[in-house]
Amino acid sequence: MSREMQDIRATMTGEVASSVSGRKVIKLSETIERQRAASYELRDCVQDAVKEKLHEDKEEMEDIKERSHSIIVHGLKKIPDEDGETRKKGDEDQLEQLFHAIHCDDMSVQNIVRLGKYDGAQAMPRSVKVVTS
């Protein structure tokens, strides 16, 4: 309860508090206090919601920035070999040739990964995700 309300209550003792108008003033002061407490709760709730939204927006912007450096290549020939390192080297060689053909020799590649699970019997080649810097 605020200091002002406490002062009002203190002055409303004795005969004044027992009168009808005194009880109405006390009820009114209690109602005001409840509304003030409710407005503080609402303000805190709104502040929490705004903070959460700002956090989500920041994460989304970071995700967008990260994805802006990714390229998905479809239809790159698969290397029919059981050894993962041999397949990866073949993918790197094919991508190097592709980048050279489209005049992107200065592109810096951080990571290359085939998307999906390897299946030697699969007819369609898996897509390749290339992360650049």
Both 107 and 122 in a single domain? Answer: yes
For the stretch 92-132, pLDDT in tens is 999 999 999 999 888 888 999 989 887 777 778 889 999 98
Both 51 and 84 in a single domain? Answer: no
Count up the domains in the chain and report the number: 2
**Mean pLDDT highest for which of 30-39, 59-68, 81-90?**
59-68
**Six token digits for residue 13:** 């003792």
Find the helix packing angle between 20-67 and 3-11, rounded to 10°: 170
Both 73 and 61 in a single domain? Answer: no
What confidence score (pLDDT) does residue 123 get? 76
Exposure string (b/e) for 59-75, b if CB count within 10 Å is 16 or more?
eeeeeeeeeeeeeebee
Both 75 and 114 in a single domain? Answer: yes
Both 58 and 74 in a single domain? Answer: no
Residue 54's identity, in one-letter code, is L
pTM for the whole thing?
0.54
Average pLDDT over the chain reads 83
What confidence score (pLDDT) does residue 6 get? 65
Task: Please give the residue range of the domain that contains residue 56.
Answer: 3-65
